Chain A
Amino acid sequence: MPKYQNDEDYDIHALLDVIYLKWGYDFRGYSKASLTRRIFFFLQEERIDRIPELQYRIVRDRALFSRFIKDVTVNVTEMFRDPPFYRSVKQHIVPQLKTYPHIKIWHAGCATGEEVYSLAMLLDQVGLLDRATIYATDINRSVLDRAKKGIYSDSHLSQYQQNFKDAGLSGNLLDYFEKGYDHVIVDSRLRKNIVFTEHDLVIDHVFGEMQLIFCRNVLIYFTRELQNKVIGLFTESLDFGGYLCLGIKESLDFFDGRKMFTAVDADHRLFQKTSNKDSSDKR
């Protein structure tokens, strides 16, 4: 059986190879259905007819490549996505975080920052914000710039206020924002311990010793092999007893080192690293 269904697949494969060779970004382990969809949107946006033409140009045009990164990654996010998840974090993870004098937290794939500020609000309410350093990273520089600015259109505000309540926080979401004309700006108090930097989960290395890692709705874009590798990176970066929080559609079921973790709340994808030794039988 041929490895690919049609010529388009060869084109995409070749494009990803060339991008890796030229720019060092590796999309070859991404799940193809979503990536292909995004690449075709990008072609439309750039008014490029065919993938081979994109392949030719992307090697020669850095600006085009930057726009490619910006457009093929899926950056859709929201404040307090899955509100019950935040309740669970408060119930299951916060008590142990309180026992540390200082906490390091990593948001991998933070997109435009809504999730980072959501957790910061929660930390504020439980008195942990001043003790925390939060590293918020993404492969896409342009979303990081927006995350850093912390300016959000108020079109989703009512949804976010509802999420805020459903997540079990007290007071009002707007306590943490300054109101602009058609937007809101994150209060500086919330941002002072947050460091936004570029980090590529596929290529880059361990980040530091973390007590908590959030990586939600990023692994869904990766094949099982790449998921395995990236979760390995998280495992290395986690302190013994540290926590890993994934998105609702993500799990450790196929991770080689899954036995190093204990599910603290399997439904909400909260895992704790409870062993330093990878004793699991490799599949």
Chain B
Amino acid sequence: MVSVMLIRSENDTFSRLVVIGTSWGGIDALKVLLGNINTPFTFSIVIVIHQDRQNRSHLSTLFSQMVSFPVLEAADKQQILPGNVYISTPNYHLLVEQDGTLSHTVDRPVNFCRPSVDVLFQTAADAFGKRVIAIVLTGANQDGAEGSKWVKRRGGQVFVQNPKEAEAKIMPLATIGNTDVDFVGNLDALALVLNNLECS
């Protein structure tokens, strides 16, 4: 039994790695985005969301009740599996390793943030280059703008929530100003683009 499971998880890698960064207003935005994704899907989603450090993340439970796919709090050295969503833990940077696992560090905040979207985006881009799609949603700081540039440099794509729709525009605007982004759209349009990945 055990060996069967190992073989499965080794071959079962995601088609694309979708990394999402958000801050102020992020919970509501994610509800809409995740709620509009068709199942099953073959990509994986890893999310960094800025939260109050005192709150142990209960977001995974919250989102799990809304959608039919697994939404998990990222565990250390956990294999990123297709069809799953992983969410950051407050007070820890979330990183992507080249072997397709997740890892953590308590290193200094970046852009005053821990977890930082830039750290997630950069490590994802280093590890999976062209297979990475970065999405920047609502937020009231500039975290994610540098990381998005990195994603582009490594051949990935960057999507941004339409600043007009975003509860806080600063984060989407910072990324648009910093990077040659591939797509700007409302949450339902972003979900549509993700759903279309399955056909391409």
Task: List A residues at the B interface (Cβ < 8 Å).
Answer: 4-5, 9, 31-34, 36-38, 74, 76-77, 217, 219-221, 223-224, 227, 247-251, 254, 283
Contact = CB atoms under 8 A, between A and B. Distances in A.
B76 A250 contact: yes
B126 A36 contact: yes
A37 B92 CA distance: 15
Most central of A227, A248, A254 by chain B CB within 10 Å: A248
Interface of B: 2, 56, 75-77, 89, 92, 95-98, 103-108, 119, 122-123, 126-127, 129
B92 A249 contact: yes
Given A33-B95, A76-B108, 13 more contacts: A5-B127, A31-B95, A31-B103, A33-B96, A33-B97, A34-B95, A34-B107, A36-B126, A37-B119, A74-B107, A227-B77, A248-B56, A249-B104
Given A76-B107, A217-B106, A220-B103, A249 B89 contact: yes
28 contacts: A32-B97, A32-B98, A33-B96, A33-B97, A33-B103, A33-B123, A33-B127, A37-B105, A37-B123, A74-B105, A74-B106, A76-B107, A76-B108, A77-B106, A220-B104, A220-B105, A221-B105, A223-B77, A224-B77, A247-B106, A248-B89, A248-B92, A249-B89, A249-B104, A251-B75, A251-B76, A254-B77, A283-B2
A43 B93 CA distance: 21
B126 A33 contact: yes
A38 B76 CA distance: 19
Contacts of A283: 2
A118 to B, nearest CB: 15
B123 to A, nearest CB: 4
Nearest to B107: A74
Contacts of A37: 95, 105, 107, 119, 122-123
A249 B107 contact: no
B4 to A, nearest CB: 14
Identify the 7 closest CB pairs spanning chains A and B, nearest first.
A33-B95, A34-B105, A33-B123, A31-B103, A74-B107, A249-B76, A220-B104
Contacts of A227: 77
A219 B98 CA distance: 18
Most central of B95, B104, B119 by chain A CB within 10 Å: B104
Contacts of B108: 76
A5 B92 contact: no
A283 B126 CA distance: 30
A250 B77 CA distance: 10
Contacts of A251: 75-76
Nearest to A267: B56
A227 B92 CA distance: 18
A180 to B, nearest CB: 24
A221 B129 CA distance: 23
Nearest to A78: B106
Nearest to B96: A33
